[in-house]
Amino acid sequence: MSADGLDAGERMQREIIASWSPAKRLARVFEISEAAFELARVGIRARHPEYSEQDAEWARRRMAWGDALFRAAHPEAPLLEP
């Protein structure tokens, strides 16, 4: 660990990311976000195998946004357990 608190791998990772264009960084953020959403849907489907893909997405949004925002955004959607 160095004086900046980073090990060599972390420092290298920061240097690589700093070399990317803003567009590439933004694209990577979207890729990581979609991977996290998919992981959440997989967990929901594991707990609720009876859910359709749409049901799993409703449950993921409800979990992420909370009931009030989810209901405001999707009044037609069922309140499914995540």
Q: Residues 16-68: pLDDT tens digits?
A: 999 999 999 999 999 999 999 999 999 999 999 999 999 999 999 999 999 99
Residue with tokens 């909370």: 66
Q: How high is the pLDDT of residue 26?
A: 97
The answer to whether residue 71 scores a pLDDT higher than 90 is yes
pLDDT band at 6 (very low <50, low <70, confident <90, very high): confident
Q: Which two tokens stand for residue 35?
A: 């991977």
Q: Is the distance from CB of 48 to CB of 59 less than 8 angstroms?
A: yes
pTM: 0.75
| R_g over Cα of the chain | 18
Predicted pLDDT of residue 81: 95
Closest CA to 31 of 44, 19, 20, 47: 20
